[in-house]
Structure 1
């Protein structure tokens, strides 16, 4: 890999300097390091890098050539998780030429075009752009002295075959997109919630299309990434009680949950690396990771046979499992920082506390029924910790805990 290659979370290409700054504000407010590059040819290490092509007032051919050259340079220096073409919310500039240039350079299977900026009064309906409820071509932007807008129809300005969609249809359309059958998708948005839905649909589809939009779409992306970044919970469920298993099953209905079953046999292999990697990956993706050792209701009835086969007492088996989970938790926290820890089962909670070097626990309140929350004392881990006795609560308890942390993280 090129030594200059920087794995950026977000790379944005704007067509003017003020637009570049507008695109980056919400990302900075979300806690990211954001840089606007005034020239190409320099590797940037920020979490979000915004380039300015300064091409809004150029001819179509000049704008196309400039964007192709710039995006080629960007691709050699960055491997963005998100690539965004920032455009003006009133469609000024060379939208068709610049989006075509981006598609050509990136060879992407799908492009999402959503120029709406509801907070500034710019909305789209049936592929038409409106400013404060007035069709774009009936506003002052149609007679802009430098870059007048000739059409309110987004597809006409793109000068390409496109599909017009509502936010709820995005994921299905992305599933149909391939390199051989690329999709240019113009998506309506009349509220911030619509823009949020577009980003969520993209995330749920598991693909990374080229995003084309104004600061409104950038704001929605910042909101989504901020939520993913700040709120995941690492839940260590050592209890084999029936209610604990019901709580796991109910919490799995949450849209951002990953469950990881620890095979008891591997507890004695002394190699937790695979589990550690899976947990870290889930948390870095913003998913709540629920780690447990009980595969089903029958497992608890097989403990006696397992102890006999391993030559251990029930107490010795429990200690080995708790130590394994505690060491695994400590190693995970050495690589990634979730929003909170949830420890179900008293023995597991004590083992994790010892592995982290905690000397005590300061109680602050209750996250859900039968679930106190607070902070460990005397150790580096200073984010919230929630503990629950294995048999306490009802089936909704763990899900309520996840919601509690999400709300606390958004305060």
Structure 2
């Protein structure tokens, strides 16, 4: 893996600055941390990286060569997007072919429609307020005039890759075929959403090629959820009170870890419980202690297992760390909350975090920030096990539901 890659959720390559900003703004509005880069490598902490290649007015071969410079930035991106102009100006054919080569992706979905701005695609023809783009002012653009209204003809000027025109309803079947360029009609935002839905669940995500309309649809799909995944390993009395109070609130699901399962390495059932809770829009609190009295049974458990207190704690923490990592691999809650120093470090280790960037404080004794250098780039909140009041976890839930949704 490239040294400067931070496993970003989204990487967008745009060919001018205003297009780059248009591509990123909807992701930012929906809770993502978005950065627009003028040059690379870019090592900043960001959910979505938008790179301005400034290549719209270049000749096609130069534009393709410039995109090759971004190979390290797109490596391991969960979503790769080529932002193009909704009226097909620039070098879409050359740049799409270049990105397919660089990324190793088999297919590109090309959907230039931007319905909110009156730009639609019907029968593979780019329309501006119902008129073919070649009959509008864009045909005489002083820098990058548009010579064809048919998307396929625009692409064919710069690439020999085969293309086919499909509707959103036909897209799923086309993704099973061998045609590398899939031009998809769209007249509404709902049809753009349908395009994103068609590619979201596949094993291999194609290159997305579109204007701000398709970027907006992707942002709607990736909108930051409002659920909290809380992992609490502390057995302190105040931690148990916090769990109890949170569990009394509607929309909170509790997952109790059986210590015997820790030693049997049985994790699948807990992952299913977590997945079910998050998928239902609930907060999920994972904990290892039933009540404040359980801490007095530690010596008995240690004697049964032939372990010291420290070894028992390390085993439980390591289990919770791996459980958290696997849960985050399949679901993306609004934030992660870890209580107990050993558990917090075990989670960080399981995620291969290189550090922690502090952003502020959610509640008393609850700093929040982000792990550095790992795939999980959502907000992280930490709390020492014995700190806070019985309402601390409730305050965190309030922060997730109210302030993070603003």
Q: TM-score, normalised by structure 2?
A: 0.61
Tell me how far 1:42 sits from its aligned partner: 2.8
| Structure 2: tracts of 5 or more residues without a match | 230-254, 285-315, 336-388
User: In the aligned structure 1, how far is the partner of 2:57 from the partner of 2:143?
Assistant: 7
Tell me how far 1:171 sits from its aligned partner: 2.0
Q: Residues 171, 137 of structure 1: CA spacing in aligned structure 2 closer, same or farther, 3 A cutoff?
A: same
Tell me how far 1:144 sits from its aligned partner: 0.7
The aligned residue for residue 136 of structure 2 is 139
User: In the aligned structure 2, how far is the partner of 1:168 from the partner of 1:377?
Assistant: 52
Tell me how far 1:203 sits from its aligned partner: 1.0
Correspondence list, 1:243-322, <5 A: 268-271=260-263, 274-275=267-268, 278-279=271-272, 282=275, 287-288=279-280
| Structure 1: tracts of 5 or more residues without a match | 235-260, 292-323, 341-375, 386-405
Match of 1:158 among 136, 143, 155: 155
The aligned residue for residue 353 of structure 1 is none
Q: Residues 64, 338 of structure 1: CA spacing in aligned structure 2 closer, same or farther, 3 A cutoff?
A: closer
User: In the aligned structure 1, how far is the partner of 2:171 from the partner of 2:124?
Assistant: 14
Q: Residues 63, 166 of structure 1: CA spacing in aligned structure 2 closer, same or farther, 3 A cutoff?
A: same
Does the alignment pair 1:230 with 2:225?
A: yes
User: In the aligned structure 2, how far is the partner of 1:10 from the partner of 1:184?
Assistant: 21
User: In the aligned structure 2, how far is the partner of 1:338 from the partner of 1:52?
Assistant: 30
The aligned residue for residue 173 of structure 1 is 174
Tell me how far 1:338 sits from its aligned partner: 4.5
- What is the DSSP-based 3-state SS (H/G/I as helix, E as strand, rest coil) of the residue aligned with 1:43? coil
User: In the aligned structure 1, how far is the partner of 2:119 from the partner of 2:136?
Assistant: 12
Correspondence list, 1:63-212, <5 A: 63-68=63-68, 70-75=69-74, 78-159=75-156, 160-174=161-175, 176-177=176-177, 181=178, 183-212=180-209
Q: Residues 148, 335 of structure 1: CA spacing in aligned structure 2 closer, same or farther, 3 A cutoff?
A: same
- What is the DSSP-based 3-state SS (H/G/I as helix, E as strand, rest coil) of the residue aligned with 1:4? coil
Q: TM-score, normalised by structure 1?
A: 0.60
Q: Residues 206, 107 of structure 1: CA spacing in aligned structure 2 closer, same or farther, 3 A cutoff?
A: closer
Tell me how far 1:333 sits from its aligned partner: 11
User: In the aligned structure 1, how far is the partner of 2:194 from the partner of 2:405?
Assistant: 18
- What is the DSSP-based 3-state SS (H/G/I as helix, E as strand, rest coil) of the residue aligned with 2:50? strand
The aligned residue for residue 299 of structure 1 is none
The aligned residue for residue 393 of structure 2 is 380
Does the alignment pair 1:59 with 2:54?
A: no
Is the contact made by 1:279 and 1:289 (CA closer than 8 Å) also made in structure 2?
Answer: no
Is the contact made by 2:134 and 2:147 (CA closer than 8 Å) also made in structure 1?
Answer: yes
Q: Residues 283, 223 of structure 1: CA spacing in aligned structure 2 closer, same or farther, 3 A cutoff?
A: farther
Is the contact made by 2:87 and 2:138 (CA closer than 8 Å) also made in structure 1?
Answer: yes
Tell me how far 1:62 sits from its aligned partner: 1.2
The aligned residue for residue 300 of structure 1 is none
Q: Residues 41, 231 of structure 1: CA spacing in aligned structure 2 closer, same or farther, 3 A cutoff?
A: closer
Q: Please give the root-mean-square deviation of Cα atoms over the aligned residues, in Å.
A: 3.9
